[in-house]
Amino acid sequence: MAKHPNIVLIMADQLAPQFTGAYGHPLVKTPNIDALAAQGTRFDAAYCNSPLCSPSRASFMAGQQVSRIGAYDNAAEFPATIPTFAHYLRRTGYRTCLSGKMHFVGPDQLHGFEERLTTDIYPADNAWTPDWLDPDRRHPHWYHNMDAVRQAGAAATTFQYDYDDEAVFLARRRLFDYRMSDTAPFAMVIGLIHPHDPYVARPEFLDLYDPEQIDMPDETPVDDPHSARVRAGIEAHPGSVSLEEIQRARHGYFANVSYFDSNVGKVIQALKEADLYDDTVVIVTSDHGDMLGEGGLWYKMSWRERSARVPLVVAGPGIRRQTWADPCSLIDLLPTMRCIAEDAEPLAVPVDGVSLWPTLTQGAVSQTEAVGEYCAEMAPGWPVCMIRRGKWKFTWCRVDAPQLFDLEGDPEERNDLANSAEHMEILQAFVAEAKGRWNSDAIRSDVLRSQAMRRIVQPALETGYMTSWDYAPHRDAAQEFVRNTVSWDDVLHRMQYPAPGGTT
């Protein structure tokens, strides 16, 4: 049997497709993602399944909605017994590797990956637990506020640049290791932190843009209850930031999008130099987007388009060159990767995603909707849910009025059709579907139970001697580079590609 394709998935953090050249932004420069999109499939209505880092990534790994796996927020444990795409791929013989961020919470920091090359950039404990019994209270230690906008600008380095530079360097080196020492296919996930705020960028990326050309958002506040909660939670009050600060923050974000794109280019270059590119499916996506001032909102935590939509570009052997309009979401990637691996074994548990492989390889309709749940901070003590199907986008929460948008006619979501008599039948059908799909009482009860347990566990673990869950990458210096346990020639052949004399 021929070797199955390798998989390299590069995940940004907080990258809205609307702010990339690959998706049509006239200013933002993303030449490497552009090139991938030209070679493969660009999905134009891909969504996260929860617009916050950790729950989005857990649902992506598991192929399940957050209420099914209990990964509600940035401090909720992702249970180790839940199968992920890394487990499934590893079972079929793939080598599995994670370099960079995945924001796993809990003592399991691998979740099916055979190896992890870096620690995570964010903590693995339960400290960032929201309180649905007091949903209006801010947690100043870890909640976003507008400081990230006010402090935007230039820096020679930041902790985020250090992190991404290391994650990409180690990933590139591991790709050459795979080429020189392995015959099994591999699946590598590279999780980067950019363009996540703070909107601070290196000068060379800022210099790609003329500050006077930075397009500005429509700050007219969107007035639905959840948007009002998010604005209050991030302290985005009228006048809290100046036009100059908004422009500088967007400039920094655009620069960091280009920095992320440059790292995509470095990974592609390594694949080509290692003669792996033609045998590798490359996926570029993000965990969620960034409102970046639109509607008076910043960051994520919202089902608005710039927060909830993600880029999804897939290129590689057998994949068609096309753009695809049907909605899909990150949970569809687990069944898609199982198809790449031709995994015919049964799923251990049902998943909520649908394989996109028929679309990617045949141009056939596969997934036709995106569904998500938000159960974290700034929710009103109840889940805030979303359905995107066709041109319709519907959001629903038990204590809020439902919303209905026609994204074809109203891509900026400024005209809520929920009170339109003409659309009442469509709205009622969505409401009935939502009530049947989500048991809000049960979800609320489980979220409150989870939060209550974590509020006991976290301070207890911090008392006395603390054993951290944060991942510490293993390195054995005795086995690295030139050592007396191996010959010089062995090191040359192991760490040089092509090997001395031009052999591979």
173-188: pLDDT as tens digits: 999 999 998 789 999 9
Maximum distance among all alpha carbons in the chain?
Answer: 81
- What rounded mean pLDDT belongs to the chain? 96
Residue with the two structure tokens 């199907």: 389
Number of other CB atoms surrounding residue 421 within 10 Å: 7
From residue 492, alpha-carbon distances to 178, 320, 500 in Å are 16, 39, 7
Structure tokens at 473: 């990458």
Q: Residue 56 belongs to a domain with what CATH number? A: 3.40.720.10
* Residue 423 domain-assigned (yes or no): no
CB neighbour class for 436 (10 Å; exposed up to 12, middle 13-18, buried from 19): exposed
CB neighbour class for 298 (10 Å; exposed up to 12, middle 13-18, buried from 19): buried
Into how many domains does the chain fold? Answer: 1
* Residue 128 domain-assigned (yes or no): yes
- Does residue 111 come out as left (phi exceeding 0), alpha (psi in the -120 to 50 range) or beta? left
- Domain range spanning residue 18? 6-369
**Known catalytic residue at 385:** no
pLDDT at residue 503 is higher than 90: no
Number of other CB atoms surrounding residue 45 within 10 Å: 24
382-420: pLDDT as tens digits: 999 999 999 999 999 999 999 999 999 999 999 999 999
* Residue 263 domain-assigned (yes or no): yes
Closest CA to 152 of 247, 259, 48: 247
323-340: pLDDT as tens digits: 999 999 999 999 999 999
362-374: pLDDT as tens digits: 999 999 999 999 9
Three-state DSSP at 140 gives: coil
Interval 339-356 mean pLDDT: 97
- Percent above pLDDT 70 for the chain: 99
First to last CA, the chain: 22
* Residue 484 domain-assigned (yes or no): no
Residue with the two structure tokens 């008599």: 421
How sure is the predictor about 293, in pLDDT bands with cuts at 50, 70 and 90?
very high
Residue with the two structure tokens 């080598």: 95
* Residue 487 domain-assigned (yes or no): no
Least confident of 28-37, 108-117, 487-496: 487-496
Distance, in Å, from the CA atom of 449 to the CA atom of 459, rounded to the nearest integer, reads 17
Among the listed residues 4, 48, 97, 103, the single catalytic one is 103
* Residue 149 domain-assigned (yes or no): yes
Among the listed residues 4, 48, 53, 328, the single catalytic one is 53
90-140: pLDDT as tens digits: 999 999 999 999 999 999 999 999 999 999 999 999 999 999 999 888 887
Distance, in Å, from the CA atom of 321 to the CA atom of 339, rounded to the nearest integer, reads 19
- Per-residue confidence (pLDDT) for residue 504, from 0 to 100: 59
262-278: pLDDT as tens digits: 999 999 999 999 999 99
**Known catalytic residue at 474:** no
Closest CA to 174 of 491, 497, 503, 499: 497
* Residue 117 domain-assigned (yes or no): yes
- Percent above pLDDT 90 for the chain: 90
205-245: pLDDT as tens digits: 999 999 999 999 998 999 899 999 999 999 999 899 999 99
- In order, the DSSP letters of 38-67 are HHSEEESSEE-SSSSHHHHHHHHHHTS-HH
More confident call, 500 vs 472: 472
Residue with the two structure tokens 């020492």: 181
- Per-residue confidence (pLDDT) for residue 493, from 0 to 100: 82
- Per-residue confidence (pLDDT) for residue 1, from 0 to 100: 35
From residue 396, alpha-carbon distances to 73, 385, 417 in Å are 19, 5, 13
Distance, in Å, from the CA atom of 390 to the CA atom of 494, rounded to the nearest integer, reads 52
Handedness of CA 459, 460, 466, 472 (dihedral sign): negative
- Per-residue confidence (pLDDT) for residue 183, from 0 to 100: 83
* Residue 1 domain-assigned (yes or no): no
- Per-residue confidence (pLDDT) for residue 144, from 0 to 100: 85
